[in-house]
Structure 1
Amino acid sequence: MPWQSQGTSKCVILLIGLVLSLTNISVASAHNVKTAADVGGTLHIQPNDNPRAGEPSQVWIALTRKGGKVIPLKECNCQLAVYAEPHSAKEPALLEPPLQAISAERYKGIPGSEITFPKPGAYLLQLSGKPASGESFRPFKLNFEVTVAAGSASATETQKVQNVNDAVEDRKSGFIPIAIALSALAAGGIVFVVQQRRRNGE
Structure 2
Amino acid sequence: MNKYLKILIFTSAVIFSYNHLAPVIAHQVKITSDVGATLHIEPNDTPRSGEASLAWFALTRKGGKVISLSECNCQLLVYAQPYVKGEPALLEPNLKPIKAERFRGIPGAEITFPKPGSYQLQLQGKAKQNNSFKPFNLKFNVTVATGTSSPSSDTTQVLENSNTQVEENQGWTFPVWAIAIPLFSISGIIFVALRRKQTDQGDIDSR
Secondary structure of the corresponding residue to residue 152 of structure 2 = helix
Secondary structure of the corresponding residue to residue 68 of structure 1 = coil
Aligned to 1:157: 152
Q: CA deviation at 1:13?
A: 3.5
Unaligned runs of 5+ in 2: 157-207
Aligned to 2:184: none
Distance in 1 (alpha carbons) for counterparts of 2:91 and 2:133: 26
Larger gyration radius, structure 1 or structure 2: 2
Aligned to 1:92: 88
Contact 1:28 1:50 in 2 (8 A): no
Q: CA deviation at 1:83?
A: 0.3
Q: Does 1:66 align with 2:62?
A: yes
Question: Share of identical aligned residues, percent?
Answer: 57
Contact 1:73 1:101 in 2 (8 A): yes
Q: Does 1:56 align with 2:61?
A: no
Secondary structure of the corresponding residue to residue 26 of structure 2 = coil
Unaligned runs of 5+ in 1: 162-202
Contact 1:52 1:117 in 2 (8 A): yes
- RMSD over aligned CA atoms reads 2.7
Distance in 1 (alpha carbons) for counterparts of 2:155 and 2:134: 45
Q: Looking at both structures, which has the greater relative contact order when contacts are Cα pairs under 8 Å and sequence separation is at least 6? A: 1
Q: CA deviation at 1:90?
A: 1.1
Distance in 1 (alpha carbons) for counterparts of 2:13 and 2:95: 41
Q: CA deviation at 1:92?
A: 0.3
Q: CA deviation at 1:16?
A: 5.9
- Counterpart AA for 2:64: G
Distance in 1 (alpha carbons) for counterparts of 2:111 and 2:55: 7
Q: Does 1:37 align with 2:62?
A: no
What is the number of equivalent residue pairs in this alignment? 152
Aligned to 1:191: none
Task: Report Cα offsets for 1:18-65 as digits up to 9, x if no partner.
Answer: 78999xxxx994110001231001000000111011111000000000
Distance in 1 (alpha carbons) for counterparts of 2:78 and 2:138: 12
Distance in 1 (alpha carbons) for counterparts of 2:51 and 2:45: 13
Distance in 2 (alpha carbons) for counterparts of 1:53 and 1:103: 24
Secondary structure of the corresponding residue to residue 118 of structure 1 = coil
Q: CA deviation at 1:89?
A: 2.8
- TM-score (structure 1 length as normaliser): 0.68
Distance in 2 (alpha carbons) for counterparts of 1:158 and 1:29: 34
Q: How does 1:118-129 map to 2 (within 5 A)?
A: 118-129=114-125
Q: Does 1:130 align with 2:130?
A: no
Q: Which runs of 4+ in 1 moved over 3 A?
A: 13-22, 158-161
Secondary structure of the corresponding residue to residue 105 of structure 2 = strand
Q: Residues 37, 88 of structure 1: CA spacing in aligned structure 2 closer, same or farther, 3 A cutoff? A: farther
Q: CA deviation at 1:140?
A: 0.3
Aligned to 1:106: 102
Q: 2:76 aligns with which of 77, 80, 93?
A: 80
Q: 1:141 aligns with which of 137, 141, 161?
A: 137
Distance in 1 (alpha carbons) for counterparts of 2:16 and 2:61: 37
